[in-house]
Amino acid sequence: MDQVSKAIIEQLQQDGRRSYAAIGKVVGLSEAAVRQRVQRLIDSGVMQVVAVTDPLELGFARQAMVGIRVSGPLEPVADALADLPEIDYVVITAGSYDLLAELVCESDDHLLSLISEKIRTIEGVVSTETFMYLQLRKQTYSWGVP
């Protein structure tokens, strides 16, 4: 990836609604050239342009991170977790847990059902530990590009 593409990504990390014309002025390209580069970055999976929401404001009362210990291959369990609509983040880790999954639920009952009836029934899941979020203090997607 060249420096111009990195600069475009940085511009969109600052403001995902920034116009291609405005980005073009900063990076030295035409609006059309920026549009083409952005589309290539999206098509190649390098980036997504999405609306980031606050789940609490949308009516989801409970967010949590679940640490999961697995017996056997990690990837099938991670893929099964990723298929659950309530889970928005799955990562294979090194440390006390094999996987971490972030989930968003409408209520404590929904959280209990998700953990008991869906997550813990996935083949290979040995144990879980739930870390319920009490207050979000920072969430950012603007870490830049190397």
pLDDT by residue (tens digit) across 131-141? 999 887 887 77
Say what percent of the chain tops pLDDT 90: 72
Report the C-alpha gap between 49 and 70 in whole angstroms: 33
How many CA within 13 A on the CB side of residue 99? 30
Query: For the segment 95-129, what is each residue's pLDDT rounded down to a tens digit?
Result: 999 999 999 998 999 999 999 999 999 999 999 99
Residues 81, 137: contact at Cβ < 8 Å? no
HSE on the CB side for 1, CA within 13 Å?
Answer: 16
Q: Is the pTM of this model over 0.85?
A: no
Distance between CA 37 and CA 7 in Å, rounded? 11
